[in-house]
Structure 1
Amino acid sequence: MNIALLLQMAAEAEPHRIGLVCDGRRWSYGALLSAAHGAAAHVVETGATHLALLDESSEAAAIALFGAAFAGVPYVPLNYRLADVDLRALLQRVAPAYVVGDVARVARIASDQGHVTLGRGEFVAAAEARGEDAPKEPREGEGIAAQIFTSGTTAAPKAALLRHANLLSYILGTVEFASASPNEAALVCVPPYHIAGIAALMSSIYAMRRIVLLPAFDPDAWLELAASERVTNAFVVPTMLARIIARIDAGHRPDLSALQAIAYGGGRMPLELIERALELFPHTGFTNAYGLTETSSTIALLGPEDHRAALASGDPAVRARLGSVGKPLPTVEIQIRDENGRVLPPGERGEIYVRGEQVSGEYRERKALDADGWFPTRDAGWLDADGYLFLAGRADDVIVRGGENISPGEIEDVLLGHPAIADAAAVAVPSLEWGEAVGVAIVPRTPQAPPSEDELRTLIRKRLRSSRVPERILVVEALPYNEMGKLLRREVKKLF
């Protein structure tokens, strides 16, 4: 099977129904399918081994994703925010590619690699022009739908491979075909090189929910587009939601009465922020989605009912679920293991392992699945007695103080409960006595009046224990996050 099936089914069911909106222009499902056929024909003629996208989200992303599927080559969305030297290295790894987007940049940094390049408008026009007479059935290839480069921190990025079978397993296991009514619309504003962007396109097309694309996030533009298009569904990352709520609280309140559901993920959601969101949108269902590139997107969900139940509960265990990522999807299995591979019982922290058909765990360089098909996520966390999954940062982020493993998340949770702290991060800092010690960076709500170091150390000692007390404390204006709302701990460490 091929992910092209998703678009084929939508176009055959209702070819004239609007499937995508971007910058004021609208495409029906039939028009999207025809353009994907045309794009595939052009790619095949060039002999390119990959179809790469070097651009913001637009109609070109959807046409390229499905065009690559019909052409039988991997779709490779590239991070246009990378430095030239890093981007050149990635382009070399997929050469010769059919590259859509920033033609001038490719010419400047990779003119010797044999790529075929087209700008966004040129690509879309060429695809539409070829659609009528192009072959209509997908070509066989390696079976790879997408190749996504993971963000490298200490080494070159790995090329994660998502096969058609992985992506289809996720979509078919979580989305009902044509389940959206004609008035439903999903606002998508995540980078196309992130798995969330790919999953949003596929799931909305299969549900036949109109996709409303916002190429670059701006809170005012997001609010106005959501209102004008009567958006019913949206996906945001925590930093986006924070900026949207700040504008609403400042008095910018367009009509969002159509908004039925907001999904979020990609980074840590501050408890105070989601509580405020639930207050502002009392009739909107919130869903926390946790997943990874290598798992074809979501593997655990905290649904709308869980959100409301946790917010209203006086039971600390139930209330705590608002900080979880919910329960695993029915189609996947999750285990928590210690450093020796032993499966841990509920309540004990370790590394999260996942298994299921949607889990690729495959890189161009190697396979990461164990003999039984389990994938080590490198995320740390634990399951509670009722099966709710809680994250505790990356396994690599654990602070090892005198042989004791300390999760940054538990320290950050205590600090974020302080009324004078807007944001906080805990990282390992070098220590002559302990090897590593705890360092914390805080963002005070009032820059002129941060809480004292003694106050913070006393708070952590009382709530946790003495080994968690920070050896170093920094006060900063803001913490570094990427565009998906993930804290860049390596950058926090540099502050020390």
Structure 2
Amino acid sequence: MNISTILDMAAEAFGERTGVVHAGTRMDYASLRVRAHAAAAAIKASGARYVVMLDVSSPAAPVAIFGAAYAGVPYVPLNYRLTKPEINELLARVTPGYVIVGDAYRALVEPRDDLQLVSRADFLALPPAGDEPPQPEEDPRAVAVQLFTSGTTGKPKAAILRHENLMSYIMGTVEFASADEADAIVVTVPPYHIAGISAVLSSTYACRRIVQLENFEPRAWLDAMRRESVSNAFLVPTMLQRIVEHLDAAGAQPDLPALRALAYGGGKMPLSTITRAMALFPGVDFTNAYGLTETSSTVAVLGPEDHRLAAASDDPMIRRRLGSVGKPAAVEIEIRDEDGRVLGAEEAGLVFVRGPQVSGEYESLGSQLDADGWFPTKDRGYLDADGYLYLDGRADDVIVRGGENISPGEIEDVLLSHPAVADCACVAMPDEQWGEAVAAAIVLKPGTQAGVSELQDMVKGALRSSRVPQKIVFKDALPYNETGKVLRRVIRQEFA
């Protein structure tokens, strides 16, 4: 099945329903399909093997996603925040390409004979394709999306998502036409992130209105939520934290009567932030969604009832679930040690996932699945006795002190429990005696104080002495990327 089926179903069932809202522009599902058909015709005529998007969120993104699917070529959104050399290095890997580019980014693209550049305005104004709609490929193994990884440890890898992976995710997690006509979701994640793509696919399948914001800012987000009477939202943890801080600083209540559900994911959520958010939005269903590009988005969910039970419980084993990412959703999850042995409850190791939505494949590198179909996420974590997954960070983030593996997450959880600590990140720093030692970068809450010795003693009292940060620095803010992941490599460089 081709992902274009999602738009076909929405357009035929609710063609007059508004599908996309962006900066005053409103497009219903019937119009979205007409534009996607026109895009497919133009893509086919160009002879391109890839459809590339270099732009912020706009209606061009869903048109390009479905247009590429109708045309039978992969959709490849690029990170517009990269440098000019980085962008052109990626463009050289997706030729011949049909490139939809925003006006603000056109100067970043070096001319090539094998790239056809089209502005966003021209792309959205393509003439109708004619009476015969395009006939998309029915090969479920065809490539639907190609996403480049961040490339923090080398050249970016191109993750491959096939139609069968994406359709398995959508049909396994979303009910068709499950949204009411008044329902809407605000999308703030960039179009080159898997969450941005899954938001388009899942919202279209649910027939829910998508309200696009080009950039995130708390006041603009709140204004859009009120203006469009938004019922659903997805945020990365840093975005939710900024909204909470904005509301608390203004001494204001959210005043979002239409909001029913708020999902978050993409990074570690501080316990203080989610606790405060639940107090500010008492009638809202909170969901923590954990997923990866290679798994077509979400693979574990901590649902609304889990949030309520954990927040209200006096049992520490239940209350700690607020720090988990929930239970597997339509996939299998297991934890293994470095030798591949499957671990039991509460034993920390490497997280593996398996299921039809899991691609685990990279262009030129091939499939990374093992013989039994399991994908190594390279995240560390553990499952409790009830099947809740707790993450300890990336395997590459492990601090190896004298041969002992130390997870930054357990130390960060202790530091974040201090009333003065707003944010923190622990990383490895070089140590002549132990090879590596623990270092911590800490952000304090405004108007508060905490000493280095005080924080070190706190960690020593809660964990073993080997976990105590050898060095602590206080910062105004930690470096994050646009999807809410702390940039540990930047922090490590400072300590190095």
Normalising by structure 2, report the TM-score.
0.97
Closer, same or farther: CA 289–94 of 1 in aligned 2, 3 Å: same
Q: Give the secondary-structure state (helix, strand or coil) at the position aligned to 1:308.
A: helix
Matched, 1:227 2:226: yes
Aligned partner of 1:288 in structure 2 is 288
Asked whether the 8 Å contact 1:92–1:113 carries over to 2, the reply is: no
Contact 1:74 1:144 in 2 (8 A): yes
Q: Where do residues 370-449 of structure 1 align in structure 2 (5 Å cutoff)?
A: 370-446=370-446
Work out the CA distance in 1 between the residues paired with 2:62 and 2:253. Answer: 31
CA, structure 1 residues 148+204, in 2 after alignment: closer, same or farther (shift >3 Å)?
A: same
Look up the match of 2:204. Answer: 205
Give the 3 Å change call, closer, same or farther, for CA 315–345 of structure 1 in structure 2.
same
Residue segments in structure 2 that go unaligned for 5+ positions in a row: none
Moved more, 242-251 or 462-471: 242-251
Deviates more, 1:455-464 or 1:250-259: 250-259
CA gap of 1:257–1:66, structure 2 versus 1, over 3 A, is same
Mapping for residues 283-362 of structure 1, pairs under 5 Å: 283-329=283-329, 331-362=330-361
Question: What is the Cα deviation at residue 210 of structure 1?
Answer: 1.1
2:265 matches 1:265: yes
Specify the alignment match of 1:56 in structure 2.
56
Whole-angstrom CA distance in 1 between matches of 2:251 and 2:144: 44
- 1-structure distance, mates of 2:108, 2:488: 32
Question: For residues 184 and 153 of structure 1, what CA distance do their matches in structure 2 show?
Answer: 38
**Deviations 1:172-200, CA, capped at 9 Å, x for gaps:** 00111111111111111110000000001
Q: Does 1:138 align with 2:136?
A: yes
CA change 1:214–1:344 in 2 (3 A) is same
Q: Which runs of 4+ in 1 moved over 6 A?
A: none
Whole-angstrom distance in 2 between the partners of 1:288 and 1:315? 21
Question: Contact 2:175/2:205 (CA < 8 Å) preserved in 1?
Answer: yes
**CA distance in 2: counterparts of 1:446 and 1:19, whole angstroms:** 42
What's 1:485 paired with?
484
Within 1, Cα distance between the matches of 2:81 and 2:417? 34
Give 1:59-208 correspondences, 5 Å limit.
59-102=59-102, 105-106=105-106, 108-126=108-126, 129-133=127-131, 135-139=133-137, 143-208=142-207
CA distance in 1, matches of 2:413, 2:255: 34
Q: Contact conserved, 1:34 with 1:132, CA < 8 A, in 2?
A: no
Secondary structure at 1:325 match in 2: coil
Q: Contact 1:103 / 1:118 at 8 angstroms: preserved in 2?
A: no
Report how far residue 133 of structure 1 moved. 3.8
AA at the equivalent of 2:373: G
1:239-261 Cα offsets, whole Å, 9 max, x none, are: 11112122222145563101000
SS in structure 2 at match of 1:230: coil
Deviation at 1:423, TM superposition (A): 0.9
Residues 262 and 284, structure 1, Cα contact 8 Å, conserved in 2: yes
Residues 488, 309 of structure 1: alpha-carbon distance in 2 compared, 3 angstrom cutoff? same
Q: Is the 8 Å Cα contact of residues 103 and 120 (structure 2) preserved in structure 1?
A: no
Report the 3-state secondary structure (helix = DSSP H, G, I; strand = E; otherwise coil) of the residue aligned with 1:391: strand
In the TM superposition, what is the alpha-carbon distance from 1:122 to its structure 2 partner? 1.1
1:215 is displaced (CA, Å) by 1.6
Amino acid at match of 1:345: G
Q: Deviations over 1:119-158 (max 9, x none)?
A: 11111011xx224445332146771110000111121000
Q: Partners of 1:460 and 1:230 in 2: how far apart?
A: 45
| Residue 395 to residue 116, structure 1, CA distance change in 2 (3 Å) | same
Cα distance, 1:451–1:108 mapped onto 2, change above 3 Å: closer
Unaligned runs of 5+ in 1: none
- Distance, in Å, in 2 between the alignment partners of 1:270 and 1:286 is 14
Deviations 1:423-450 (A, max 9, x none): 1110011111011110111112247x64
| CA displacement 1:371-402 (0-9 Å, x = unmatched) | 11100000000000100000100011000000
Q: Distance in 1 between matches of 2:138 and 2:327?
A: 36
Q: Which amino acid is the alignment partner of residue 230 of structure 2? A: V
2:464 corresponds in structure 1 to 465
Distance 1:307 1:365, change over 3 A: same
The count of residues paired between Structure 1 and Structure 2 equals: 492
Contact 2:402–2:436 under 8 Å retained in 1: yes
Q: Secondary structure at the match of 1:66?
A: helix
What code does the residue aligned with 2:487 have? L
Give the distance between the partners of 1:268 and 1:23, measured in 2 at CA. Answer: 31
Q: TM-score, normalised by structure 1?
A: 0.97
Q: 1:277 maps to what in 2?
A: 277
Distance 1:349 1:405 in 2: 11
Moved more, 172-181 or 449-458: 449-458
2:279 alignment partner AA: E
CA distance in 1, matches of 2:470, 2:60: 50
For each residue in 1:199-224, what CA deviation from the matched residue of structure 2 results, as whole angstroms up to 9, or x when unmatched?
01111110111111112111111111
Query: Is the alpha carbon distance of 1:73 and 1:130 closer, same or farther for their aligned partners in structure 2, counting shifts above 3 Å?
Result: same
Residue type at the aligned position of 2:325: V
Separation in structure 2 between the aligned mates of residue 265 and residue 42 of structure 1, nearest angstrom: 36
User: Contact 1:333–1:355 (CA<8 Å) still a contact in 2?
Assistant: yes
Give me the identity figure in percent. Answer: 59
* In structure 1, distance between residues paired with 2:292 and 2:305: 24
Paired amino acid for 2:305: E
Write out per-residue CA displacement over residues 428-473 of structure 1, whole angstroms, 9 at most, x where no aligned residue.
Answer: 11111011110111112247x6422211111111100111011111
Which SS does the other structure have where 1:110 is aligned?
Answer: coil
Going from structure 1 to structure 2, the CA distance change for 1:272 and 1:280 (only over 3 Å counts) comes to same
Give, in whole Å, the separation in 1 of the partners of 2:255 and 2:411: 39
8 Å Cα contact 1:263-1:289 kept in structure 2: yes
SS of residue paired to 1:90 = helix
Alignment correspondent of 2:26: 26
Q: Letter of the aligned partner of 1:184 in structure 2?
A: D
Q: Give the match's secondary structure for 1:93.
A: coil
